[in-house]
Amino acid sequence: MSKQEKGKGGLRALLLWPHTWMGVTLGGLLVLIFFMGSLSVFAPEIDRWMMPATRLPAPTAPISLDATMRPLLEQLQAPALAQGGRAQGWMVEMPEERVPVAWLRVRTTQGMEQALVTADGRRLPPPQTLGASGFFYPLHYCLLLRPGFVGYWIVALAAVAMLAGLVSGVVVHARLFADFFTFRPRARPQRALLDLHNLLGVLALPFHLMITFTGVVIVLPIVLPSGVSVLYDGNLTRFYNEAVAAYDRPAAGVAAPLLPLDPLVVRAKAMWQEGGGKEARVAQVTVVHPGDAAAYVRVTRFNDDRVTLHNQPIVFDGVTGALLLRGAPGPVVAAQRFMAGLHVVHFDHWTLRWLYFLQGLAGAVLIATGLLYWLEKRRARHGQGLAGWRVVAATTCATTTGLVIATLAMMAANRLIPATLAGRMGEEVGVFFLVWVGTAVHAAVHLRRHPQPPWAGHAWAIAGLAALCVVANWVTTGDTPWRAWALDRHAVLGVDAGLAVTVLLAVAAARRLGAARRRQAAPVTGGQLLKGANNA
């Protein structure tokens, strides 16, 4: 951009360049983050769909840890202890309405063991899938790149660009109020795309600002560890322990019997309820050094009744029952925990969950329409012969429709590959990435011969795969809508309904795209005929 160009339009013109180029370079990544984040809102429901054995009714009776879970925990660590190992810790993730199964984890000097069990203590086979909570969710916040926190850094960079994009977008599109009421879907594509981009940008602006900011807030100590470096010598664990009041002490090396756990849970509940409020439910119970004289028990609460993510840990001595620690963060950390809770929407509010989901998808569409608008404008100015144009066009296609296709392919693979196959977990992930790369290659090849990415073809693929998912679910699990309704399996019903809506939308889009292409193609054919007639 030359100096003269910048001088003309003031701030608006100055900010157009960063707005455009942040979008073009990081737009695809941001679509991925927004799409996977939106799916993560319903991760427990998608998990039920992908793990049929866990489609269970919500636990109604209180669960006795001592009667149901403790024998299983001891059973899990028995082989390690028989080999001369020592028990280091137990963790029970309690079942709840949306996740009606418990995860038991046992750590010994010999390694980790885990088991999925029902609320009444029946052991379930391992699910052989990462599910939405183990795949879509981590893809959202760290791109599955955990070593060295690389993925966290990349996502945080994209999020900051999103924040800057939102702020600069408000300045660039100065007619905020007018944009709210302007959408001309039948205008030429460039105009309609920009209208939709502006409409979604304005409509969901508060949500997008909130969700992007709070998203970075969650990982802030990881991506900006400046205070940690000067006040904690860079030791992140020590910072977190102090911030959220964790407790630790070494094993004594002397055996001592562990107290029954249920009375400790009752005491923790009473402490949470001090000062009124409804009874809080237990989220996790952790026992560190079970069977040792220095054993301690940590109980955390479930936050379905409030926004904050702070789970008010209470730590008891596992042998004497004495209260060791009651976690209460300072005001700033409490505010940070509140913002984290605002982001992950664990509180029980179905209307808000749907609004999060829809506005998250709106974020993906906002970025995608921005990319498409740029592509159309570039084509108008430079033609599409440029290799750079085709790269951005293929990437845009792969990160929008291609991403949806890959997600649906993974869900279809989940239903079609038998869970009894030992490697299914990895195969599902393999299907996701192979199909995703495949859509990118397909788009790139298609663009060598056609003016547009293969939108219609991708839309048909989405419709076909989503329909396949629904049917495969009915056939492999027997959970037709009637049965799911009769058994109160609302999660299954909801995911199937979402897939059905996807089919309808994709078919409608594919038909419209096909009609538009025929309209565009018609005059060209006429012209060629005329030309042919003249030559003859």
CB of 526 to another protein, least distance (A): 44
Give dist(CA 271, CA 279) in Å, integer: 10
Of the pair 160, 251, the CB lying nearest another protein is at 160
CB of 266 to another protein, least distance (A): 30
- Residue keyed to tokens 């966290």: 152
As to burial, measured by CB atoms within 10 angstroms (0-12 exposed, 13-18 middle, 19+ buried), residue 507 is middle
Q: Which of 196, 128, 236 has its CA nearest to residue 369? A: 196
Tokens of 509: 């889009």
Give dist(CA 118, CA 115) in Å, integer: 10
Of the pair 217, 403, the CB lying nearest another protein is at 217
Give dist(CA 286, CA 104) in Å, integer: 10
Percent helix, strand and coil across the chain, each to the nearest 5: 65, 10, 25
CB of 231 to another protein, least distance (A): 4
Q: Where are the alpha helices (DSSP H) in 42-99?
A: 43-50, 70-82
3-state secondary structure 451-497: CCCCHHHHHHHHHHHHHHHHHHHHHHHCCCHHHHHHCCCHHHHHHHH
CB of 14 to another protein, least distance (A): 4
CB of 223 to another protein, least distance (A): 9
Whether 343 and 214 have beta carbons less than 8 Å apart is answered as yes
Please name the residues in contact with 103: beta carbons below 8 A apart, sequence gap of 6 or more: 91, 92, 93, 114, 115, 116
Please name the residues in contact with 421: beta carbons below 8 A apart, sequence gap of 6 or more: 128, 427
Q: Which residues bind another protein (CB under 8 A)?
A: 3, 6, 11, 14-15, 17-18, 157, 160-161, 163-164, 167-168, 213, 216-217, 220-221, 224, 226-232, 239, 242-243, 330-333, 335-336
CB of 170 to another protein, least distance (A): 11
CB of 361 to another protein, least distance (A): 23
CB of 174 to another protein, least distance (A): 15
Give dist(CA 27, CA 363) in Å, integer: 11
| Long-range contacts (CB closer than 8 Å, 24 or more residues apart) made by 414-422 | 414/50, 414/129, 415/469, 415/472, 415/473, 415/476, 415/477, 416/472, 416/476, 419/125, 419/127, 419/128, 419/129, 420/128, 421/128, 422/128
Of the pair 336, 452, the CB lying nearest another protein is at 336
Of the pair 228, 297, the CB lying nearest another protein is at 228
Of the pair 184, 382, the CB lying nearest another protein is at 382
Of the pair 213, 302, the CB lying nearest another protein is at 213
CB of 18 to another protein, least distance (A): 4
Phi, psi of 301 (to 5 degrees): -100, 160
Of the pair 232, 296, the CB lying nearest another protein is at 232
Of the pair 333, 516, the CB lying nearest another protein is at 333
104 has which bridge partners? 92, 115
Q: Which of 408, 412, 407, 400 has its CA nearest to residue 443? A: 400
Tokens of 57: 């009714």
Give dist(CA 503, CA 499) in Å, integer: 6
CB of 41 to another protein, least distance (A): 23
Tokens of 76: 């899990």
CB of 169 to another protein, least distance (A): 11
Of the pair 170, 500, the CB lying nearest another protein is at 170
Of the pair 172, 509, the CB lying nearest another protein is at 172
Of the pair 11, 178, the CB lying nearest another protein is at 11
Please name the residues in contact with 4: beta carbons below 8 A apart, sequence gap of 6 or more: none
CB of 226 to another protein, least distance (A): 4
Of the pair 18, 85, the CB lying nearest another protein is at 18
DSSP assigned state of 136: I
